[in-house]
Homo-oligomer: A and B are copies of this chain.
Amino acid sequence: MEFRKISQDPGCGARLGKITTPHGEIETPIFMPVGTQGTVKSLTPEQVRALGAQIILGNTYHLYLRPGHKLVADLGGLHRFMNWPHPILTDSGGFQVFSLGALRTMAEEGVTFQSHIDGSRHLLTPESAIGIQEALGSDIMMCLDECISYPADRSAVEKALGRTARWAARCQAVRKNPDQALFGIVQGGVYPDLRRQGAEQIRAIDFDGYALGGLSVGEPKDLMIENLAAATPLLPGDKPRYLMGVGTPEDLVEGVYHGIDMFDCVMPTRSARNGLLFTNGEKVVIKNARYREDAAPIDSECDCYTCRNYSRAYLRHLYVAGEILAMVLNTIHNLRHYLRLMERIREAIREGRYAEFHNRFLKERPPPAPTDR
């Protein structure tokens, strides 16, 4: 994997770049649609690609349990299995395992957990997290880290920070395939000094990229931004920076401002399935009776397939009637909204006016909703 920085915005940390992977190039800053179980829910890969997606995320936890990484490997790897010939990033499985709560126990060796599907017991270690991702064949792998929930006291965060650093070294030591990049993850909760400490620890290892984990997990927005801003400048400037599991359109604009290159979040896809549609103004709750006879598209400024061909009245009808096509058309719109925002962000950086774009965007938006991942 190669990262080339193309330009730096003069007014803030935003930068334009290009990542080259064995499955193609990625323009940064980028948003990665989430394809949890080997599918970006409801869409064909061609539909995802046509929206402007350049890379998608696969979830190691889910794919390990079902259908199993060995099966995926036997069938030619995740790209082939799911018919997505473009770049894929896989997470380590850690975030999902930690969110199992009582169903998992932590130890230095790794984390023992019970499957949410059948209750079977499994051990996820830094070594097995890499082994699974190597079997899946992703272009970018993530280290197993210890993700702390919010709120957490300082001593718990410190402890997780040390373990995350030791696990990062174990991940780096065990990786075998030079065609698969590996990113380290900075933890540190909402303590800016611990975030800085985490950044120093992880940057000491020569990863292909660096991520911030454990943000947008329920903390107030200003704490998220404070911690993001504390750690990002310490990450190597010549490597991609990835803010995991984030977030709202406002979060993306803020993250880019501070120098983030990559994002992922289930928000556009999950919201779509719940009938919550993004626009540049207010969100559209499509089931509302006010849209019953509305001949307008979701967003008259949007260039997506859904907005070019369907009225709010039709989309409301599909949603109320429980039709599968509602999920498809809503997902197309929300993902395009996100991916188009990233296009506008890249254009603003290219033209050296990102700080202004950022300020105007946040001023014009309705007050931010709580983040959700």
Given contacts A292-B67, A313-B67, contact A39 B323 (CB under 8 A): yes
How far, in whole Å, are A309 and B81 apart by their CA atoms in the complex? 9
Encode A26-48 as 1/0 by CB contact (under 8 A) with B: 00000000000111011110000
CB atoms of A324 and B323 under 8 A apart: no
Question: Does A314 sit within 8 A of B, measured CB to CB?
Answer: yes
Question: Does A320 sit within 8 A of B, measured CB to CB?
Answer: yes
Encode A318-329 as 1/0 by CB contact (under 8 A) with B: 101101110111
Given contacts A67-B292, A71-B292, A295-B75, contact A41 B311 (CB under 8 A): no
CB atoms of B67 and A325 under 8 A apart: no
Q: Whole-angstrom distance from the CB of A243 to the nearest CB of chain B? A: 27
How far, in whole Å, are A311 and B74 apart by their CA atoms in the complex? 12
Residue of B nearest to A42 (CB): B324
Residues of B within 8 A of A75 (CB): 293, 295, 311, 313-314
Q: Whole-angstrom distance from the CB of A73 to the nearest CB of chain B? A: 11
Copies in the complex: 2
Interface positions, chain A 60-101, Cβ under 8 Å from B, are: 66-67, 71, 74-75, 81-83
How far, in whole Å, are A67 and B292 apart by their CA atoms in the complex? 8
Question: Does A317 sit within 8 A of B, measured CB to CB?
Answer: yes
Residues of B within 8 A of A321 (CB): 37, 66
Residue of B nearest to A311 (CB): B75
Residues of B within 8 A of A310 (CB): 83
CB atoms of A325 and B292 under 8 A apart: no
6 example contacts (A-B, Cβ-Cβ < 8 A) are as follows A37-B318, A39-B325, A42-B328, A44-B305, A75-B314, A83-B309
Pairs of residues from A and B, 5 with the lowest C-beta to C-beta distance, nearest first: A42-B324, A67-B317, A39-B325, A83-B309, A37-B321
7 other contacts beyond A37-B317, A75-B314, with CB at 8 A cut-off?
A: A37-B323, A39-B325, A41-B324, A42-B324, A71-B293, A74-B293, A83-B309
